Structure 1
Amino acid sequence: MEKKYDLAVIGGGPAGYEAAIRAARLGFSVALIEARNMGGTCLNRGCIPTKAILHSSGLYREAKEFGEIGLAADGLSFDFGAILRRKNQVVAELRAGIEKLLKANGVGCFEGRGFLESAERITVTGSSGTQELRADRILLATGCAPSVPPIPGAELPGVVTSDGLLELDALPRRLVIIGGGVIGAEFATAFSDLGCEVTIVEAMPRILPTMDREISQSLSMILKKRGVRVHSSAKVEQIAGDSPLVCRFTEKETENRAEADLVLIAVGRKPATNDLFTEGLGIKTEKGFILTDGHHETSLPGVFAVGDVTGGIQLAHAASAQGIEAVEYMAQGTEPARPRAIPSCVYTSPEIACAGLCADEAKQEGIEVTVGKALTASLGKSVIERNERGFVKLVFEKQSGALIGAQLVCERATDLIAGLVQAIDRRATARELAGVIRPHPTFSEAVTEAAEDALGGAIHAMPRVRRA
């Protein structure tokens, strides 16, 4: 007899597997369908493997400077193959943990590509053949895939997306990265740390173009100091050749070129909706992304969609939150939480993190703000660890005094942002943030300094010049 599930989830990434576990704990019988590896892009081809490489490359860069802190590492070298093997071990360990959790929670896992035939029926096609599943509700969480623009030569051997770059078996001597967003910035950091000659070609006027302008400027200066060539306002015209590859681009009306052993295309991602559902079902999309209402339900009743496949902020933690919201609404009628600040992180060195509005965005929305800023270079912790330039910037709504945004460029920024996200959600004031007793010496002291700066002057900053 065919089994019918309370919920079938297509996609085993952060949104899908977390939603499946939460639904199972709420009493649902759950089927989870994944075409590749459990954990999705984030675990297998994105966040985790990239950060594993960054960890190794960052330690190598620091080790080369051991002499400046009284240490020695004679004959220092690295084994790129071993770095990749460790990356694979990290991924395998975390994937195994997810699979154990799914099994322990009674989630039925199906390997194969799920295709939505109707609001209650899914066809799963995998290596063992085709089978049909039925469910009262369906959740689509198929995520996104790397997007490749129509650049002449983009199909040449040696031109890869982030997926291909993570499967290398040898370190390229020269790497050209088309795209200076988060993915491009992180790979530029990792590969330059390992001694690769890196060139970034970005179409917008600055790298990390969606973030605070000062963040972009700081990272650009740091990367250039480390030997990365950064070309902004640059349009790629063609990729040609074989050994070497040649990337031709126009920068501010001037023709330019960069030679490379490998070219990474990192210009964005597209929704993974090909062969996902029958067009006649009436599931509405926009530019390929699935449209949903305030409860994450699509235009087809009983079918929900969450995560990157719906557009918006394409981040694993945002997708996870949406997946849990969706199943809690299905099971309990729980209304999704009010709009919350969503942190964005870049794992360069120093790290970058932001949430809420920056000052320019607030101005565009007609919000008058007060900005507090603290430079991190003078912190005891920064001096001890020899950290480069950085800052913590806090944006407060002038009328209410509430924190509405935070931008950080400093070590541990990706951890510090969590507390500031909570402060934004709770509309904490500068005085409340300044009143928190933070440990010394830590990077978190910069939050106190920035809040004090918004109130008129930080203790460890030079007094502001008073005008007569």
Structure 2
Amino acid sequence: MSDYQLLVIGAGPGGYTAALRAAKLGLHTAIVERREVGGTCLNRGCIPTKTLLHASQVYHDAANGASVGVHGALSYDMGEMFAFKRSVSEKLRGGILSLLKSAKVDVLEGTAQITAPGQVSVTGADGTRTAYTAERILAATGSVNVRPPIPGLDLPGVMTSDELLEGTDTPYASIVIIGGGVIGVEFATFYSHLGCRVTLVEGMANLLPQLDRELGQNLAQILKKQGVEVLTSAMVRSLEQTGEGLCVHLEQKGKELTVTGEKVLCAIGRRAYFEGLFAPDLNPALNGKRLLVDEDYRTSIPGVYAIGDASAAVQLAHVAAAQGTDCVERMCGGKGSTDLNVIPSCIYSAPEIAVVGLTEAEAKEQGIPAVSGKCTLFSNARTIIEDPGRCFMKLVARSDTREIIGAQLMCQHASDMISQLSTAMVNHLTARQLLSVMRPHPSFEEALSEAVENLTAKLA
């Protein structure tokens, strides 16, 4: 008889969600974590970043409050901001540990290695190795930051998001951020709100290059108004330490230029992480640089499954959590309860960005007849009150069936509104069905009605 019916490796969103679901379904479950429960998202990613963004937004709003009658001297303490960030993570970690304990999931501290099908060795901080057996093993080992081989990228003062989020009591006068994706634009927002001189460098033609082009273009305009220097189509060639700081050498449209900052953040992306997870004689099949899994999340090693960033093309915490639940339900004979084809994504810039499904251009590239409807929030009362900059909502529907197949929102609280568009897609709702919904006034959400009206008019 095995020690456990399921042993989960990695206590991030995918891992702990899977462990909790397994325990609820009656499986004797353990979870192994070498660092803190909650994984990257809770400790070095989503939650710390959003906590800091909240703190900087509070300062920025107060510092720029003259137009609404808020005046007075104001300052911020970077050390206290990072202490607040740590306290939020600690509180949430405690909540996860409490849930695992209540569910009777054994939490094993150490580094896990799959030594054979059904066998895992866990090495503790003191070097002690303990062997466990399990009927099934689930790898949820996440991802790590990418550091490309650019000369000078290993200089002191060049950080990844992990290192930056460790915190400092001293504000930076200037920072160069390499990478205009989600991580880059969120940190550009944070530092610019605090008055730091920010240079944001992106190799592609637009910020957020994986999203609708208008989102990246609009965000670049807003960041520039906030004082951020935005350089697109700019490739980093090398870095060097100078008397003025870290000098980043770039090539932009055939021309060489340099930018300098006190610090440099490398935010180019993340890659699947499973180094040392398998014993040397175990060689799982790969899908590029990720673990290859089938529709039930099984790897090529018998009894070993994988979810989240280690195997998924989309590296998002809620994708990992949904896969964790889906995987365990399939293990127990179910079919899974979440539609994994509809994946919302959010960027916590100012204003927020949230997207789901296809853009009109992507749909047409796939041969899908599509049309989009759009609403700019110039006359939306809540948007006029808060004045976050140009905001818009764009909805995409099939022109034959009228079903909603995509949405791109750039406005306040976009992350809280995107799920109703995801709901529409999962349930194959049409634009006209969305139009029948009464939305409250005054709210940001009521602008959706105008976007749907524009869309239905084009579908007529």
Q: Which amino acid aligns with 1:239?
A: L
Give yes or no for the alignment of 1:366 onto 2:364.
Answer: no
* Percentage of pairs with the same residue: 45
Give yes or no for the alignment of 1:117 onto 2:110.
Answer: no
Between the aligned partners of 1:160 and 1:154, the Cα distance in structure 2 is 9
SS at match of 2:332: helix
Which residue does 1:95 correspond to in 2?
Answer: 93
Shift of 1:332: 2.6
1:274-296 deviation per Cα after TM superposition (whole angstroms, max 9, x unaligned): 10102433411133210100111
Shift of 1:19: 0.3
Between the aligned partners of 2:115 and 2:355, the Cα distance in structure 1 is 41
Structure 1 stretches of 4+ with a deviation exceeding 3 A read 335-339
Which residue does 1:214 correspond to in 2?
Answer: 214
Between the aligned partners of 2:196 and 2:41, the Cα distance in structure 1 is 25
Between the aligned partners of 1:88 and 1:419, the Cα distance in structure 2 is 32
Between the aligned partners of 1:125 and 1:280, the Cα distance in structure 2 is 19
Structure 1: 5+ residue stretches without partners: 458-468
Shift of 1:119: 1.4
Where do 1:311-460 residues align within 5 Å? Answer: 311-335=312-336, 337-456=338-457
Between the aligned partners of 2:280 and 2:427, the Cα distance in structure 1 is 43
Where do 1:46-445 residues align within 5 Å? Answer: 46-72=45-71, 74-128=72-126, 129-169=128-168, 170-241=170-241, 243=243, 244-335=245-336, 337-445=338-446
Distance 1:337 1:89, change over 3 A: closer
Shift of 1:15: 0.1
SS at match of 1:377: helix
Distance 1:416 1:429, change over 3 A: same
SS at match of 1:281: coil
Between the aligned partners of 1:212 and 1:225, the Cα distance in structure 2 is 21
Between the aligned partners of 1:226 and 1:298, the Cα distance in structure 2 is 47
Shift of 1:335: 4.7
Contact 1:239 1:248 in 2 (8 A): yes
Contact 1:294 1:336 in 2 (8 A): no
SS at match of 1:117: strand
TM-score (norm 1): 0.95
Between the aligned partners of 1:41 and 1:335, the Cα distance in structure 2 is 25
Shift of 1:242: 5.2
Contact 1:353 1:409 in 2 (8 A): yes
Which residue does 1:7 correspond to in 2?
Answer: 6
Contact 2:339 2:426 in 1 (8 A): no
Between the aligned partners of 2:374 and 2:280, the Cα distance in structure 1 is 51
Shift of 1:178: 0.6
1:128-172 deviation per Cα after TM superposition (whole angstroms, max 9, x unaligned): 421111100000000000010001011110001000111131221
Contact 2:393 2:410 in 1 (8 A): yes
SS at match of 1:89: helix
Q: Which amino acid aligns with 1:82?
A: E
Residue-pair matches, total: 456
Moved more, 423-432 or 11-20: 423-432
TM-score (norm 2): 0.97
Contact 2:372 2:455 in 1 (8 A): yes
SS at match of 1:424: helix
Moved more, 168-177 or 341-350: 168-177
CA RMSD of aligned residues (A): 1.4
SS at match of 1:320: helix
SS at match of 1:317: helix
Between the aligned partners of 1:107 and 1:340, the Cα distance in structure 2 is 30
Contact 1:157 1:242 in 2 (8 A): no
Q: Which amino acid aligns with 1:378?
A: S
Between the aligned partners of 1:405 and 1:275, the Cα distance in structure 2 is 39
Q: Which amino acid aligns with 2:34?
A: A
Between the aligned partners of 2:151 and 2:282, the Cα distance in structure 1 is 36
Shift of 1:377: 2.2
SS at match of 1:41: helix
SS at match of 2:116: coil
Contact 1:273 1:288 in 2 (8 A): no
Between the aligned partners of 2:135 and 2:285, the Cα distance in structure 1 is 20
